[in-house]
Amino acid sequence: MAVQHAPAPPVQFQTSPSRYRHFQFQVQGDLARLSMNVQQFEPQREGYELKLNSYDIGVDVELADCLQRLRFEHPKVRTVVVTGSLERVFCAGANIVMLRSSTHGFKVNFCRYTNETRLAIEDASDKSGLRFLAALNGTASGGGYELALACDKILLVDDRNSAVSFPEVPLLGVLPGTGGLTRLTDKRKIRRDRCDVFSTLAEGIKGKRAVEWNLVDAIAPLSRWDEAVAEMARSMAAGTKARGEQGIELESIEPEGSDQVASAYGPLERTRWRHLDLSISRSARCAELTLRLPERWETTQAQALSAQSGWWILRALRELDLCLCNLRFNEPNLALVLLRVQGNPKAWRDTDNLLAASTHWLVRETRFFAARVLKRLENTAKSFYAIADQHAAFVGTGLELALACDRIYAKDDEQCAVHFGVTPMNAGVLPMSNGISRLQTRFLGTPEQASQVLAQTEDFDTARASELGLATFAPDAIDWEDELRLAIEERTSFSPDGMTGMEQNLRFAGPETMETKIFGRLSAWQNWIFQRPNAVGERGALTTYGTPLRPSFDTQRT
Amino acid sequence: MTGIDYSQKIPNNVDLASDKRLQRALEAWQPNYLEWWNSVGPTDFNTKDVYLRTAISAEKDGWAHFGYVKMPDYRWGIFLEPRDEKRTVGFGDHFGEPAWQQVPGEYRNWLRRLIVTQADTEPASVEQQRLLGHTAPSLYDLRNLFQVNVEEGRHLWAMVYLLHTYFGKDGRDEAEELLQRRSGNPDHPRILGTFNEPCTDWLSFFCFTMFTDRDGKFQLLALAESGFDPLARTCRFMLTEEAHHMFVGQTGVARVIERTCQVMQAHPDKDVRDYGAIPLDVIQKYINFWASSSTDLYGAEISSNSANFFRSGLKGRAYEERYDDHLALEGSYAFENLVDGQLVREEVPLRNAMNEVLRDEYVKDNEKGIAYWNRVCERMGNPFRFRLPQRRFHRKIGVYAGGHFDLDGNALSQAEWERRQGDWLPTAKDRAFVQGLMQPVTTPGKSAGWIAPPAKGVNDQPADFLYVRA
């Protein structure tokens, strides 16, 4: 069967509860309830129906938005019940027809984004003490069960019928690739032989056996389902504290204008946001992403709090997050992003002092969000160069942005004000997905170098950044433009797959965590399987699923 | 071993006496089965002698051995049609290969699921009907009810035999769970919706045996084609018994119609309710309810499961041999899909439409039953004509569950449906009226006032035969 690639409309990443189509979201006191109610006939693009609460990117964007709002808009909430609105079905996972009719690049991006969303659940639990209860009111299969696995506790209805299952391997010849296999072994710590049996049993496991195998935490009969959910949610709430009283509203972020600008490699289409410029040249396959530090900024906690979601750093992070998502999904051919941070470095010092020290919930949430955005950047399949030229301010959190990039180009020119600097934010407050700081990761074999960088109390220039091991290259004024041009042209000439693979291997030196395993092992294998004839060939399992044909496999083990 | 004479206790043609593994499994299961029967079967009649038919062999006439028996002592046997050594898989990707005598590992889970789903319906109907004995309109009907009940019990045995023999520990666990689910129980209901509907009056019982057991017939016909030979042979034997259940339903409803027509003839222009008969339009509503609910049992119109089951040779079409093409790879099936509220003609690959193909056969068969009832009206000179609701009407499963439709299958708004559903489905008032008529009649040869007596006795017994005795 021929795979059809439906022309995809751009993915929209901005939404808000009043616009949710696929979720019912309610907050009552310290309890939030998020009920999946996927609209069958409202897929993100044409060509498939979202049956049985199966999801696509449009559904996941709403879930991600909701998680974000829980953290900023609802600090009183202690427990979140994640459940389904359909009878007998919680969620059937990612939509198969959608996957089958997607380009490979879209599939990988979809998988990456949904993985980030599930990790955001665990981040909210770990950092903010929000407790998530997956209340499985019916069968949770594939991605549905993976969503449940991301929650703190799983309660499954015991109607002698509803099960949790991973039918991917036996039915589709692919993996439960949204963290499923890793969370079975590393989070729920289920024996590998049982994981093996469970992951090959299409119909899954239900009832007492599911509890015995630790696939779920508890089961409850239908007649006392609501009661059991409420009880479990209450007891989970008892183990955690509300973060605050009054939330802030996350304002909608829209671009403030767009225009065309000239550049060394031709005209760029520039979109201006309040704190960011994103300029794109599709012909050069290059983008320039520039964070412009504000001229006036909040210097005290009181000012930050009263600015609410207009607090410059929060707004800038949200804009950056949105741009990264757009670059991934809606600009698939761009190869390279030149990242600049420009402005008064004092803005970083004041802001970071607040971010690093404050115990106020809103400031903490902003700090945790900064960590997530940096990870989003590192999980983006584009090359990133940090460019330190005129007015560069890679200080503190700004320095983290540079350290998240694959290379740092710094102009060594007395006429050019380049600021590097460290703040407490560089000392482990913004860990990478490997659990350690970017400086620790960068200087894995020479930890004293990391200490040396952290010991810098003042801003420093390109020469010093070079000595400290921060600048990859430090061309002088004469060489600068040519060096940069060559670096760009070279980068965009490489195989995109080679780049993605290489970067993903180089970015995460050091220890493994569940998170790095999910992206580096599970997703990577999944992406390989997704390309193989045994999955997507003419008689591959994913191609033939739901058709009259049986899959036929190339039996050679790789 | 316990020295039980298995061929006496459990009539069988599967050499139970020498199969230690099966003996062990059934010995553990049988006490639980009896406990199930004694707790949710027709328990208040366990001490009565009932004139029942017992299958004692798979030979010709062996399935119809009549005599008085107390239900708990009924000999629930295990019978498979004799094996045809040359039988081959009759459809799907394995077409022409020798039929399987063992479960193919590749299809183990699907096959188990199919068998469990079929098996689950058997005890379910016994549970649904457990209180009807108290309101039987005649001893003849009481006996028929119990005959249906014990045979459903036997069908459960037949399916459990397959689970025990071919599916190891999982099969034994599933067999155990078949006794734990309960019809209509909110916590552990039976798997399929229709088998959780209350069946507390005799008009419902007749409709159930007419429409729901007819689903059973077509499921069995499809499974009788299975490449897994023991399943095919079991189902073929079950079909003879299923036919009797539908006879009970079809003639039962016919007798109710006949009685109402008599009353209408005798008292034109009067409400038949006043004479203790059930109005024809109320009978039509019961037909609408049970026919539509049973139509759901075939599953979704477009189904990957049905394609999988067909291609793998596990579940075929009814009367597969009548088709020329047993691969069903080329053709497509056109049907009206409901897309975002609109009916849209769509073609789907034939294999994915096997549920619908089976449903087509079912609908055709139902039409014959309707025609039979209309002949009763005709014979009685009554102009009323019964009809089968269009298959989109009142569906809970499949694409049409997403909309509302009238008896002709025309789409309706939610509001219109709310307003008119009482014209088409039994209202609380209708149900209360029918329920009010349900008074037991235990005098031999007599029938309740709302139903005509049967045309003929069971096994040619006289009209006043004592079918059930203390």
**Angle, to 10 degrees, between the axis of helix B168-178 and the axis of helix B139-166?**
160
CA distance B389 to chain A (A): 26
Listed by number, the residues of chain B in 32-91 with a beta carbon closer than 8 Å to a beta carbon of chain A are none
In percent, the amount of chain A with pLDDT more than 90 equals 93
Which amino acid would we find at residue A509? A
Statement to judge: residues A80 and A182 lie in one domain? yes
Tokens standing for A298? Answer: 């909040």
How many angstroms separate the CA atoms of B109 and A167, rounded? Answer: 12
Residue A534 in any domain: the answer is no
Instruction: Please give, rounded to a whole number of angstroms, the shortest distance from the CA of B309 to a CA of chain A.
Output: 10
Residue of A nearest to B178 (CA): A160
Other Cβ atoms closer than 10 A to A396 = 27
The strand pairing partners of A155, in sequence order, are A135, A218
Per the CB < 8 Å rule, is B307 touching A547? yes
Kindly state whether residue A551 falls inside one of the protein's structural domains: no
User: Does the CB of A208 have a partner CB in chain B at under 8 Å?
Assistant: no
For residues A419 and A492, state if they share a domain.
yes
- Residue A186, domain member (yes or no): yes
In our burial notation (b when 16+ CB lie closer than 10 A, e otherwise), range A154-187 reads bbbbbbbbbbbbbbbbbbbbbbbbbbbbbbbebe
Burial of A403 (0-12, 13-18, 19+ CB in 10 A): buried
Domains of chain B: 6-469 (1.10.620.20)
Residues of chain B contacting residue A160, judged by C-beta atoms under 8 Å apart: 177, 180-181, 188-189
- Torsion angle of the four alpha carbons A290, A316, A326, A486, in this order, in degrees rounded to the nearest 10: 20
Q: Which pLDDT tens digit goes with each residue over A483-509? A: 999 999 999 999 999 999 999 999 999
Q: How far apart are CA A320 and CA A329, in angstroms?
A: 14
- Inter-chain contacts counted by CB atoms under 8 A, chains A and B: 53
In a domain, A531, yes or no: no
In the prediction, which pLDDT does A1 show? Answer: 40
**Tell me, what's the pLDDT at B218?**
97
Q: Which amino acid is at A284?
A: A
Report yes or no on A543 lying in a domain: no
Do A453 and A397 sit in the same domain of this protein? yes
* Regions of chain A where pLDDT drops below 50: 1-6
Contact A549, B311 (CB under 8 A): yes
Do the Cβ atoms of B187 and A40 come within 8 Å? Answer: no
Give me the residue from B93, B188, B312 closest to A159, CB to CB. B188
Is the domain of A190 the same as that of A284?
A: no
Same domain (yes/no): A68, A164: yes
Give me A470's structure tokens. 């921060």
CB contact A50 to B (< 8 Å)? no
Closest CA to B224 of B299, B126, B114: B114
Q: What is the dihedral of CA A378, A381, A382, A383, to 10 degrees?
A: 60
Nearest-angstrom CA–CA distance, A197 and B341: 41
**B187 with A158: Cβ contact below 8 A:** yes
How much is the pLDDT for A3?
Answer: 47
Rounded to a whole number of angstroms, the distance from the CA of A553 to the nearest CA of chain B is: 14
Phi and psi, residue A543, nearest 5°: -65, -40
Q: Name the residue facing B339 among A41, A203, A222 (closest C-beta).
A: A41
| pLDDT value of residue B1 | 39
Same domain as A317, residue A220: no
Beta bridge partners of A394: A420
* Beta-carbon separation of B311 and A159 below 8 A: no
Q: Taking a C-beta distance cutoff of 8 angstroms, is the pair B423, B279 a contact?
A: no
A2 lies within 8 A of chain B by CB: no
Q: Which of B181, B312, B349 sits opposite A160 (nearest CB)?
A: B181
Our CA-based measurement puts residue A161 at a distance from the nearest CA of chain B, in whole angstroms, of: 7
Sorted by sequence, the CB contacts under 8 Å of residue B401 that are 6+ apart come out as B395
Tokens of B422: 């009482």
- Do A76 and A149 belong to one domain? yes
In a domain, A10, yes or no: no
Chain B residues inside the 8 Å CB shell of A158:
187-188
Closest alpha carbon within chain B to A200 = B109
Q: CB distance from A167 to chain B under 8 Å?
A: no
Residue numbers of B between 192 and 251 with CB closer than 8 Å to A: none
- Helix, strand, coil fractions of chain A, as percent rounded to 5: 45, 20, 40
Contact call for B329 and A545, based on CB within 8 A: no
Q: Left (φ > 0), alpha (ψ -120 to 50) or beta: where does A263 sit?
A: beta
Rounded distance between C-alpha atoms, residue B392 and residue B410, angstroms: 8
Residue A207 phi/psi, 5-degree rounding, is: 55, -145
Is A41 in contact with B340 (Cβ distance < 8 A)?
A: yes
Q: Do A548 and B188 touch (CB under 8 A)?
A: no
Q: Pairing state of beta strands A276-281 and A286-292?
A: antiparallel
Q: B342 — contact with chain A (CB < 8 Å)?
A: no
> What are the backbone angles phi and psi of residue A494, rounded to the nearest 5°?
-70, 160
d(CA B12, CA A289): 79
Interface test with A, best of B188, B302, B330, B346 (most A CBs within 10 A): B188
Q: Is residue B189 less than 8 Å (CB to CB) from chain A? A: yes
Amino acid B340: pLDDT: 84
- pLDDT given at position A7: 59
Q: Any idea which residue has 């600009």 for tokens? A: A331
Domain span at residue A378 reads 258-506
Whether B113 has its CB under 8 Å from any CB of chain A: the answer is yes
pLDDT in tens, chain B (470 residues): 345 667 677 888 888 888 888 888 888 888 899 999 999 999 889 999 999 999 888 777 777 889 999 999 898 888 888 899 999 999 999 999 999 999 998 899 999 999 999 999 999 999 999 999 999 999 999 999 999 999 999 999 999 999 999 998 889 999 999 999 999 888 888 888 889 988 999 999 999 999 999 999 999 999 999 999 999 999 998 998 889 999 999 999 999 999 999 999 999 999 999 999 999 999 999 999 999 999 999 999 999 999 999 999 999 999 999 999 999 998 899 999 998 889 999 999 999 999 999 999 999 999 999 999 999 999 999 999 999 999 999 999 999 998 999 999 999 999 999 999 999 999 999 999 999 999 999 999 999 999 999 999 999 999 899 999 97
Q: Is B93 on the interface with A (CB under 8 A)?
A: yes
**Nearest residue to A74 (alpha-carbon basis) of A129, A29, A119, A20:** A29
Option in B186, B189, B352 nearest A546 (CB): B352
A161 shares contact with chain B (CB less than 8 Å): yes
**CB–CB of B307 and A40 under 8 A?**
no
CATH number of the structural domain spanning residue A184: 3.90.226.10
Length of chain A: 558
- Whether B187 sits inside 8 A of A201 (CB atoms) is no
Q: Are A400 and A489 members of one domain? A: yes
Tell me, yes or no, whether A162 lies in a domain.
yes
The total domain count for chain A is 2
Q: Running DSSP on this structure, what letter comes out for residue B58? A: S
A419 found inside a domain: yes
Contact (CB, 8 A) for A86 and A37: yes
User: Residues of B394-411 as b/e, b for ≥16 C-beta within 10 angstroms?
Assistant: bbebbbbeebbbbbeeeb
Residue A258 bridge partners (DSSP): A271
Same domain, A343 and A489: yes
Does residue A354 share a domain with residue A306? Answer: yes
Look at A548 and B191 and tell me if their CB atoms are within 8 Å: no
The 10 Å Cβ neighbour count of residue B274 is: 9
Alpha carbons A336 and A284: distance in angstroms, whole number: 9
B304:A221 CB<8 A: no
Are residues A191 and A276 both part of a single domain?
no
Query: Do A398 and A358 belong together in one domain?
Result: yes
Interface test with B, best of A550, A553, A555 (most B CBs within 10 A): A550
Residue A335 is predicted with a pLDDT of: 97
